[in-house]
Structure 1
Amino acid sequence: MATFNGIAIFANLGLANSSCLSKFHVHYYRRSLSVICSKSPGFVLARKSKTREFRLFNSVELDRFVTSDDEDEMSEGFFEAIEELERMVREPSDVLEEMNEKLSARELQLVLVYFSQEGRDSWCALEVFEWLRKENRVDKETMELMVSIMCGWVKKLIEGKSQIADVVDLLVDMDCVGLKPSFSMIEKVISLYWEAGEKDEAVLFVKEVLRRGIAYSDSNVEQKGGPTGYLAWKMMVDGNYKDAVKLVIDMRECGLNPEVYSYLIAMTAVVKELNEVAKALRKLKGFTKVGLIAELDVENTVLVEKYQADLLDDGERLSNWVIQYGGPSFYGVVHERLLAMYICSGRGAEAERQLWEMKLVGKEADRDLYDIVLAICASQKETGAIGRLLTSMEVASALRKKKTLSWLLRGYLKGGHFDNAAETVIKMLDLGLFPEFLDRAAVLQGLRRRIQQSGILDTYLKLCRRFSDANLIGPCLVYLHLKKHKLWVVKMV
């Protein structure tokens, strides 16, 4: 049933009869609210001659529902119903019940259209729709018509900078009369605010919806995460990942308790933000190598690490809420999100733990993820984690072994652990696997630089010999300069 707040909304919209609003007498009948307007010279459309001048106004977009031919098809019963409803001396349901047999389905739709126009009592349209629903006379076209009307009213409120509470009141009225569109009107309102550039108002709207506990009707609520999750997703589409995370956490800390899936959406935003940070750092490293910029100083390095750590803290807090409110069915996806976070931030030990956590809850990670985590652990020389991750390689195919050992090799190279990289290459050769040319060259280059710094060449010579035996390089000469004795030593490998 439409509420009295709804009448105020329509007045703000300019949809209610202005000559009538100042003369309202409110009476309560059983469950409904009846509004009686006293007679006055200013009461418009009391005459059929005026009523026959039925035209569409610009308050709602109804061109596809109503055509010019409809005006010629309206019966006397239609005009009688309009006149009786506008008098407001009886409840709309009583008027429609009395004239039910005189009105066709099309004319009942036109009654809705009539009262949705500017200058009419739009509250009456809600009453008419509620009666149609109770009489089981709402078909697909009528539902689409009423949804179009409601969307037009909501859009007008937003464009007119009306109060957030007024928009929410309108949604409440819509729910009260049983208007159940096939999509979420809450999402529609969020989108309207967003497209209008009223992003702060969109946040306030979601807070008001949660505060009032308005039901969220959508078949894909699990994917969209309710009003909070949908707004967070809109922020993510615009690339505002940090804002999406902050939105969900702020909602939770305000005691508004957003939907469980909104926490998962926020965790995805954490992953994307960490990934953006990682890409930015790789670009900086590339610019540093070619001498375009200087390396990050200690202060900036600390700031970057703190930013990553804060994001991880947010992600872990969100994961705790998902587990707390979602239960065991969410464990797998939570560990999956945490794994992505730790991979993006280069936390090898934590990422490895999430792999086993996923396995324990029955959600096996892709083998490529094991290899990526292995490479991160190798770059940080996490010996225990490396040993555990390599155990499954023993029963893998030759192609799988080569791929896994190549990731291990590249991880050692990235961390500057050239002795370990050389051991990995030799292990691959022992298994009959041949490392890629660029990987072999990178290991030799790293060992060669180390010879220049320390003078230790045993590992380099051993690796060159193995490459030669495997016909991966030809015979080579190794030159060693002994500065103390001013002596060059040449050795054939």
Structure 2
Amino acid sequence: MAYLQGFTPTLKLGFVFSSLVSPKQRHPLVFPSSKCGFSLKFNDGSFKFQNPLIKGTKSVELDRFVTSDDEEEEEEMGDGFLEAIEELERMTREPSDVLEEMNDRLSARELQLVLVYFSQDGRDSWCALEVFDWLRKENRVDKETMELMVSIMCGWVKKLIQEQHGVGDVVDLLVDMDCVGLRPGFSMIEKVISLYWDMGEKEGAALFVEEVLRRGVSWNEGDPQGHKGGPTGYLAWKMMAEGDYKGAVRLVIRFREAGLKPEIYSYLVAMTAIVKELNEFAKALRKLKSFARAGLVTEFDREDVELAENYQSELLADGARLSNWVIQDGSHPSLHGAIHERLLAMYICAGHGIEAEKQLWEMKLVGKEADRGLYDIVLAICASQKETAATGRLMTQLEFASSAQKKKSLSWLLRGYIKGGHFNEAAETVMKMLELGIYPEYLDRVAVVQGLRKRVHQNGNLDTYFKLCKSLSEANLIGPCLVYLYTRKYKLWVVKMV
């Protein structure tokens, strides 16, 4: 006999089945928790029902806690549930035929418990899938039943991973799940990747994704334009979240070069990973240079510089390849702006001014306007590399800009010249700013004056220095000053008031 203890609003359903012979060994099996709260426990304790026709040598107790609005405090479990288990265990008829015949005699809770019963070790798990398929076709899959079946599936997958089964077995299970119409509101493929990842099986996660791509298993693509979704992109994103940027890039490229077809979104994730890797690499270089200036490490030699440049070049080449693949695979035009945006970020991190400027105009052509701050950063990079033509093109953007924006952009231009050591151009920029009524920052003015002073000692050219001092004095940014020049040939000092 099956029994039910009813409470309002919570019901506890306990079912105990036993064979004629009760074993002494205990085999606990608990599935991942869900809102349904099912748990299965094998035991050799008391039992309420005996039937020699039910297969198995172990007794099984099924406990379930569910919320309910049913006001009845107690109800009897029908005999239909036990008969259904008995008929399904015999396997003489199709599960759908058995359930169709007993449809009116089985409640929703009884059908859920049938699923739980056949999800145990030693039972016919395919029967559980067929029961769910029948429920779906009969439109009897409610939210609770769906959560239960998803919990059962996750338990099966987790067990396969723990027992070191091949990724092919895991993919087979997902295919079976799809065949019976088990489609939860999230990607089961992503869930499996997370299970591998959380259990420390990172290589297993990569092999699983590779098998999914090889078989062409479908997944939730997200929106129709391909902006989201897909196993490769999801795994690459998880790798990137842990700081393994280069690993994420290698993963996507490896799958593509192996003849597989990763989703377009994964290429964008890999390009983002390249941006982050270049940014971290640039930070590391700056830190090393500061250590070298402090005498903590040796200065970079030619070989070190070449290694750094080659590493950057390889990353940029990978980024260019990924962007080409996005376009080759027929991506939606709306993605083209995202491609150029990532390429722009790559070239900025690598300090490649000309290439970065090109991406700014490419973004304009596809209708995606870059932030004004990015124009200023590229302007500074081009100025530091003394790319006169590129700097001139970018400066045309300032014709109709506000005073505040002009000051900001000209300050970036000035700092670019200072960083590149181009102090004549920096002085001209300061004088241009003063003509427009814009006062450069104090530290910028000092850097330019000191830079020009060093140049005077090297080449004796005073013209630019005089002009700058005069402009600063007229703007009341410096007081009157005396300029001293000593001519060794004539042993003569020349003094001029500026």
TM-score by length of 1: 0.85
Cα distance in 2, alignment partners of residues 87 and 122 from structure 1: 14
Residue number in structure 2 paired with 1:238: 242
Alpha-carbon displacement from aligned partner over 1:68-123 (angstroms, at most 9, x marks no partner)? x9998532111111111111111111110111111001111111111112232222
Cα distance in 2, alignment partners of residues 70 and 482 from structure 1: 111
Tell me, yes or no, if structure 1 residue 466 matches structure 2 residue 471. yes
Residue number in structure 2 paired with 1:55: 61
Q: 1:65, 1:145 within 8 Å by CA — same for their partners in 2?
A: no
Tell me, yes or no, if structure 1 residue 449 matches structure 2 residue 473. no
Larger displacement relative to structure 2 (453-462 or 129-138): 453-462
Alpha-carbon displacement from aligned partner over 1:144-201 (angstroms, at most 9, x marks no partner)? 1100110011011111111111111110110011000111010011111111111111
Residue number in structure 2 paired with 1:159: 162
Cα distance in 2, alignment partners of residues 242 and 203 from structure 1: 15
Alpha-carbon displacement from aligned partner over 1:215-247 (angstroms, at most 9, x marks no partner)? 102536844441111111011001111111111
Residue number in structure 1 paired with 2:358: 353
Residue number in structure 2 paired with 1:282: 286
1:116 pairs with 106, 119, 122, which one? 119
Cα distance in 2, alignment partners of residues 196 and 63 from structure 1: 28
Q: 1:52, 1:79 within 8 Å by CA — same for their partners in 2?
A: no
Tell me, yes or no, if structure 1 residue 107 matches structure 2 residue 113. no
* Structure 2 residue identity aligned to 1:105: A
Relative distance call for 1:46 and 1:210 in structure 2 (3 A) is farther
Q: 2:118, 2:127 within 8 Å by CA — same for their partners in 1?
A: yes
Relative distance call for 1:49 and 1:331 in structure 2 (3 A) is closer
Alpha-carbon displacement from aligned partner over 1:319-348 (angstroms, at most 9, x marks no partner)? 111111115332221111111111111111
1:394 pairs with 373, 392, 399, which one? 399
Q: 1:274, 1:308 within 8 Å by CA — same for their partners in 2?
A: yes
Residue number in structure 1 paired with 2:47: none
Cα distance in 2, alignment partners of residues 52 and 274 from structure 1: 60
Larger displacement relative to structure 2 (117-126 or 252-261): 117-126
Alpha-carbon displacement from aligned partner over 1:396-442 (angstroms, at most 9, x marks no partner)? 11111111110100110111100000000000000000001111111
Relative distance call for 1:356 and 1:70 in structure 2 (3 A) is farther
Residue number in structure 1 paired with 2:79: 76
Cα distance in 2, alignment partners of residues 241 and 470 from structure 1: 50
Residue number in structure 2 paired with 1:436: 441
Alpha-carbon displacement from aligned partner over 1:2-26 (angstroms, at most 9, x marks no partner)? xxxxxxxxxxxxxxxxxxxxxxxxx
Relative distance call for 1:415 and 1:248 in structure 2 (3 A) is same
Residue number in structure 2 paired with 1:33: none
Relative distance call for 1:45 and 1:405 in structure 2 (3 A) is farther
Relative distance call for 1:182 and 1:46 in structure 2 (3 A) is farther
Residue number in structure 1 paired with 2:98: 95
Residue number in structure 2 paired with 1:409: 414
* Structure 2 residue identity aligned to 1:360: L
2:259 pairs with 224, 246, 255, which one? 255
Q: How much does 1:124 deviate? A: 1.1
Q: 2:221, 2:229 within 8 Å by CA — same for their partners in 1?
A: no
Cα distance in 2, alignment partners of residues 117 and 50 from structure 1: 11
Residue number in structure 1 paired with 2:270: 266
Higher relative contact order (CA 8 A, sep 6+): 1
Relative distance call for 1:413 and 1:53 in structure 2 (3 A) is same
Larger displacement relative to structure 2 (354-363 or 456-465): 456-465
Q: What's the secondary structure of 1:395's corresponding residue?
A: coil
Tell me, yes or no, if structure 1 residue 304 matches structure 2 residue 304. no
Residue number in structure 1 paired with 2:367: 362
Tell me, yes or no, if structure 1 residue 340 matches structure 2 residue 378. no
Residue number in structure 2 paired with 1:34: none
Relative distance call for 1:361 and 1:417 in structure 2 (3 A) is same
Cα distance in 2, alignment partners of residues 241 and 212 from structure 1: 27
Cα distance in 2, alignment partners of residues 77 and 53 from structure 1: 20
Paired positions, count: 445
* Structure 1 residue identity aligned to 2:197: W
TM-score by length of 2: 0.85
* Structure 1 residue identity aligned to 2:321: R
Relative distance call for 1:205 and 1:333 in structure 2 (3 A) is same
Q: 1:184, 1:218 within 8 Å by CA — same for their partners in 2?
A: no
Alpha-carbon displacement from aligned partner over 1:227-274 (angstroms, at most 9, x marks no partner)? 111111011001111111111111111111111111111111111111
Gaps of 5+ in 1: 1-43
Q: How much does 1:454 deviate? A: 2.4
Q: What's the secondary structure of 2:61's corresponding residue?
A: coil
| Fraction of identical pairs, as percent | 71
Relative distance call for 1:72 and 1:285 in structure 2 (3 A) is farther
Q: 1:479, 1:489 within 8 Å by CA — same for their partners in 2?
A: yes
Relative distance call for 1:120 and 1:92 in structure 2 (3 A) is same
User: Which structure's residues are more often helix, by fraction?
Assistant: 1
Q: What's the secondary structure of 1:85's corresponding residue?
A: helix
Q: 1:331, 1:361 within 8 Å by CA — same for their partners in 2?
A: yes
1:319 pairs with 289, 308, 323, which one? 323
Gaps of 5+ in 2: 1-49
Tell me, yes or no, if structure 1 residue 133 matches structure 2 residue 136. yes
Structural RMSD (CA): 2.5
Q: How much does 1:452 deviate? A: 2.5
